Amino acid sequence: MHIPDGFINPSVCVAGYAVTGGMTWYCLHKINKDKNPQAKIPKAALLTVAFFVVNLINIPIPPSSLHFVLNGLMGVVLGYYAFPAILIALFFQGVMFQHGGISTLGVNGIIMGFPALLAYYIFRLRYQVKIEEPKRTKIFAFLAGAGGVMIAATIFSVVVITTIPGDINAEMERNAIYAALAVYTIPAVLEGIFTMMLVSFLDRVKPELLENR
């Protein structure tokens, strides 16, 4: 779900940087309201490294390839720290391994980071549902983990479909993207289960590690 350099036109890249810049400012503004923003930096750094590594492992499944994302998990655990953490990881992936790109960093930040924020809000919804614990934590952790992947895959698909170059068979390209989107339900479910298991464990032994604001 990384868009490489040269794949989309410059105007879309500029718009991506503008939106990502605004979202970064918003997240940093929220982080600065925390009583002790520095206290969560080690946790954010650890998950940034995990995101960086996991995103580089591709599993070839025609017509595309899949990789675990972890953006939903990052949203649940990091809250507003998730977006800048993901952006930093994407930058180093582009610079060190040409995974994604620099011109498309803004767009890729939206694709990966925005769903992480949505996952954070999804997880917070558990307080508004009258279901006994720990069942509701498990349910919303699963929805956040799976939702982060599927929302990212959907945004990626929309961006690619709406920017297909004129010299490419548009219908064939769209069909391939739709097929890849359908296949992404598999890692979405797996990440939902993984997020649910990890969050349930943390909720029992170290609940302060979860982002509950």
**DSSP letter (8 states) at residue 5:** T
CATH number of the domain bearing residue 90: 1.10.1760.20
- How many domains are contained in the chain? 1
Q: What is the pTM of this model?
A: 0.90
Give burial (CB, 10 Å; 0-12/13-18/19+) of 60: exposed
Query: What span, in angstroms and rounded, lies between the C-alpha atoms of 161 and 156?
Result: 9
In-domain check, residue 35: yes
Question: Is the residue at 1 inside a domain?
Answer: no
pLDDT tier, 62 (very low <50, low <70, confident <90, very high otherwise) = low
Residue 118 lies in a domain: yes
Residues 156 and 135: their CA atoms lie apart, in Å, by 32
Say if residues 151 and 192 touch (Cβ distance below 8 Å).
no
Mean of all residue pLDDT scores within the chain: 88
More confident residue, 146 or 163: 146
Q: Taking the mean position of all CA atoms in its chain, how far away is CA 33?
A: 23
User: Residue 38 falls within a domain, yes or no?
Assistant: yes
Please give the pLDDT value at position 79: 93
**Rounded Cα gap, residues 52 and 57, in angstroms:** 10
Residue 3 in domain: no
Whether 195 has a pLDDT exceeding 80, the answer reads yes
- Domain of residue 157 covers 10-209
